[in-house]
Structure 1
């Protein structure tokens, strides 16, 4: 199965008789049968028809659109017929329950960061003292220590600290891209368990974002960072796969051809684990 990646603007994509038509003024048209496609990944500035979106949804194909700061995905959600959302609302509104879940989330995040630091041969982060100080302040302090050790480990690769918008070096670019794509990997699993993606516990609800996805991503962030480290140290990605402009450091076309097949192959293997994680989140919500 093929992953179609179109990152340059001014492409026109539509469907006709179950055949994907890809057109661009500077290249000859391309035709791909829909049944040979697993997903379509598009960048900004690309025109596509609603017929194509409906055809992809009907055939169970994934559509991912990636912008500079946001990522959207087309899939068919299957929400579980349970009362998880009611329990979720209760947990958000009751300070004691919310604080308990946030503490568990931050402890899990720190444990994940320590697994990453162990991979890098760095000093472990100390335990959170939930009885002293605001948890957000402690988290910020630990995060500062965490990325400072990354800067030491990857000093010769140009990584000087975590920079998100825009990323200014290849490692930051990989961290930002994988973090953006992870939102779309988590959303279907959480919806299947009956969660409301907009209602967060640790990340404030609002700001036109899926706050719960950001919460749960704290549990998978270390896994993403370990994947980036493994790929970088293995030489799968090098500085030659990136280009830098005023908009930041981005994958080149060759870099994209290297990145997306590896990323989506890994996501296919991860899918059952993400479903289990969403189920564990539901159990934790019910126990709280």
Structure 2
């Protein structure tokens, strides 16, 4: 089983990364702020204006350590990577499957059904744990959407085109986010969710979700590259220049489980508040540097939590699930598994 290694998140503006023997050094204004052995690292994610020496970029590339540069809101900017792992035969198979709807549909069907099931589970857990604090209208709305998501998951079983499955996925997203505000404590007016918005996020909930989705996207892309798949060529998400479509496919199963639940937990437990966000003149909302640091700590802690994988039947951390799913997809494409077992959280 793959070890869950560390990811460094560098959020301090004007930080500088350099190499010292077999360590990565983080400096701010010439003073050393951190030192981590390279063999313990899986990735380095840099926010805001962070620089890196050619030596540390080369060291990361040689060791397969993902070095990514993101904007303060989590938007992807650039990535340094070395020679791709895996073999060309797996990627050629991936490309053939992407161009053959009859082979892609069963995989996409599982992904969409799993996402709907996981969205439904988020709602069911909220009803189980917090129904006494909800209004009757909120409970009714959540129960209605829970039933509709269950029906949508069943619809995927009889859907035989990618376009139909994309439509179901879009319907599920619309239903789920139509009641997302009911999952948030009603006594905090700072966190009112008015529907999904991005590029830029227009409220605090969307800013938090977008940031967490960026973290999840980084992990999914790294997992796919680790097993030798091409993150750019997806099945559910169509090809688009500059978009890691297969990473987005893999994210769909995991968004409700990892990102959405963590966002709700941070808000409802008051671990993040209105003071942690900046509203810009045009209406865009960003998190403060301190807020990003706090969320990143919570993200790393959530990834350490254990669960029982529904297909493997083994206990593993949430952080390893994306790597397991990438490996299962690769095994299916190679013909070692009859189907792709999408991740369904119980």
TM-score bracket, shorter-length normalisation: 0.7 to 0.9
Partner in structure 2 of residue 211 of structure 1: 245
Query: How far apart are residue 218 of structure 1 and its match?
Result: 0.8
Residue 284 of structure 1: CA displacement? Answer: 3.7
Given that residues 27 and 34 in structure 2 are in contact (C-alpha distance below 8 angstroms), is that contact kept between their aligned partners in structure 1?
A: no
**Which residue matches 1:242?**
277
How far the C-alpha of 1:21 sits from its partner, in A, is 6.0
- Residues 1:92 and 1:235: Cα distance change in structure 2 (over 3 Å): same
Residue from 63, 70, 93 that aligns with 2:99: 93
Q: CA deviation at 1:78?
A: 6.5
Q: Is this contact kept in 2: 1:20–1:31, CA < 8 A?
A: yes
Secondary structure of the residue that 2:151 maps to in structure 1? coil
**TM-score between both structures, scaled by the size of structure 2:** 0.70
CA distance in 2, matches of 1:193, 1:61: 14
From 151, 162, 179, the equivalent of 1:127 is 151
Q: 2:118 aligns with which of 112, 119, 128?
A: 112
Q: Displacement of 1:233 after TM fit?
A: 1.7
Cα deviations by residue, 1:186-223 (Å, 9 ceiling, x for unpaired)? 22322232212121111011222111111111111111
Distance 1:57 1:196, change over 3 A: closer
* Aligned pairs, number: 282
Question: Any conservation in 1 of the 2:122–2:256 contact (CA below 8 Å)?
Answer: yes
Q: Shift of residue 183 of structure 1?
A: 1.8
3-state secondary structure, aligned to 2:36: helix
Task: Work out whether 1:79 is the aligned partner of 2:85.
Answer: yes
Is contact 1:14-1:48 (8 Å) kept?
yes
1:280 counterpart = 2:315: no
Give the stretch that moved more between structures: 114-123 or 153-162: 153-162
Aligned to 2:295: 259
CA pair 238-103 structure 1, distance change in 2 beyond 3 A: same
Change in CA separation of 1:225 and 1:152 when aligned onto 2, cut-off 3 Å = same
> Measured at CA, do residues 3 and 84 of structure 1 come closer, stay the same or move farther in structure 2, by a change above 3 Å?
closer
Whether 1:158 aligns to 2:192 is yes
Counterpart Cα distance in 2 of 1:54 and 1:265: 29
Q: Which moved more, 1:140-149 or 1:47-56?
A: 47-56
Unaligned runs of 5+ in 2: 1-5, 128-141, 305-316, 340-346
1:60-79 superposed matches below 5 A = 63-67=67-71, 68=73, 69-70=75-76, 72-74=78-80, 79=85
Mean CA deviation greater in 270-279 or 179-188: 270-279
Q: Which runs of 5 or more structure 1 residues have no equivalent in the other structure?
A: none
Change (3 A) 1:118 1:275: same
* Shift in CA distance, 261/76, structure 1 to aligned 2, threshold 3 Å: farther
SS in 2 for 1:64: strand
Whether the 8 Å contact between 1:185 and 1:267 is mirrored in structure 2 is no
* 3-state SS, counterpart of residue 34 of structure 1: strand
Q: CA deviation at 1:165?
A: 1.6
Q: Which residue of 2 aligns with 1:146?
A: 176
Q: Secondary structure at the match of 2:210?
A: helix
State the 1:107 CA deviation. 0.9
Correspondence for 2:32: 31
Counterpart-to-counterpart distance in 2, 1:165 and 1:33: 32
